[in-house]
Amino acid sequence: MQTNQRQPILTAEELLNNWQGHRGLTRRVIEAFPEKELFTFSIGGMRPFADITKELLAIEAPGLKEIVTGKTNPLVEENNALKTKADLLNAWDEATEQINVYWKQIAPEGFRRVFKLFGQYEAPAINSIFYAIDNEIHHRGQGYVYLRALGIEPPYFWEH
Amino acid sequence: MQTNQRQPILTAEELLNNWQGHRGLTRRVIEAFPEKELFTFSIGGMRPFADITKELLAIEAPGLKEIVTGKTNPLVEENNALKTKADLLNAWDEATEQINVYWKQIAPEGFRRVFKLFGQYEAPAINSIFYAIDNEIHHRGQGYVYLRALGIEPPYFWEH
């Protein structure tokens, strides 16, 4: 017997665990950078990993908050308050908690609601959540190359 | 009212569409490389993007076939038959078709079955499928850095 393609195959809890697992790995990538290179090193004109981290911080918890509240704000990636690796890691850990809290506040129909994230990206919330996770994996892959180019062994990809 | 964390939030069809969307983008990344650099260019001792592509080809359709048949084989990433960009793109397109065919053959309980992929990685099939997709996004992010370092504009991340 074959699978009905409308068969559900993932629960809310599993997707949160998957996301937080990825976020744990990204945290280890941030940690692996030397302080200076985190804010300065780049290849091919791309952003340093600190700026990438700020993008992820700007999208993830704030985006989830918008999905919960239904209120949108413009996306703001710049954050001059985050000046050190410790600042970034603290902000990362705060976002971890916020994501856990907001996640449980999503209404049952909330994952399917079409929503203009940051007043800009119109999609069902579930798609925006997958985008946020995939965007993190994508940019973290970039961080792996930066680390290798710096002669630093990155964390193992799948230990989370 | 809040979401029950055991609420299903994704169907089989949606996950396949998400995966094939990613595979379409990865195809465009393969295409964006010049023939020679696809097989030779690397940063920090990492593999050229052709070798990464061969890894993805070795994991994705063959892994899904194992989930369908329940028969495991060792993972073989090397493939000396793939010598040109056209070879890789043809193999990619064949895998696209194979994935679509195998996907519809997964039994309803098949996504949850714990299975030792390639005789090695023991996990519920759904986790192995997410691993395959996340692994592709991760390595494609690496390919983006290679392209930027070569002075080539990569395809837009989220046009799929």
A82 falls within a domain:
yes
Question: Which chain A residue is nearest to residue B131, measuring alpha carbons?
Answer: A158
Question: In angstroms, rounded to a whole number, what is the distance separating the alpha carbons of residues B14 and B6?
Answer: 18
Backbone φ and ψ for B124, nearest 5 degrees, come out as -60, 145
A5 falls within a domain:
no
A93 falls within a domain:
yes
pLDDT bracket for residue B4 (50, 70, 90): confident
The tens digit of pLDDT for each residue in B107-127 reads 888 999 998 999 998 999 999
Q: How many domains does chain A have?
A: 1
Assess whether pLDDT exceeds 60 at residue B31.
Answer: yes
Question: In angstroms, rounded to a whole number, what is the distance separating the alpha carbons of residues B106 and B144?
Answer: 33
Q: How far is CA A91 from CA A27, A45, A77, A88, B141, in A?
A: 11, 26, 13, 5, 24
Question: Which chain A residue is nearest to residue B25, measuring alpha carbons?
Answer: A138
B79 falls within a domain:
yes
pLDDT along chain A (160 residues), means of 10: 81 95 97 98 97 97 95 90 97 98 92 91 93 96 97 80
A83 falls within a domain:
yes
The tens digit of pLDDT for each residue in A86-113 reads 999 999 999 999 999 999 999 888 999 9
Q: Domain containing B52: what range? A: 18-149
Name the token pair of B7.
């609420």
pLDDT bracket for residue B2 (50, 70, 90): confident
Contact A9 B10 (CB under 8 A): yes
B115 falls within a domain:
yes
B5 falls within a domain:
no
> Does the predicted model carry a pTM greater than 0.90?
yes
Contact B130 A18 (CB under 8 A): yes
For chain A, the maximum distance between any two Cα atoms, rounded to a whole number of angstroms, is 57
Domain harbouring A53, CATH code: 1.20.120.450
- Which residue reads 């260019």 in tokens? B41
B130 falls within a domain:
yes
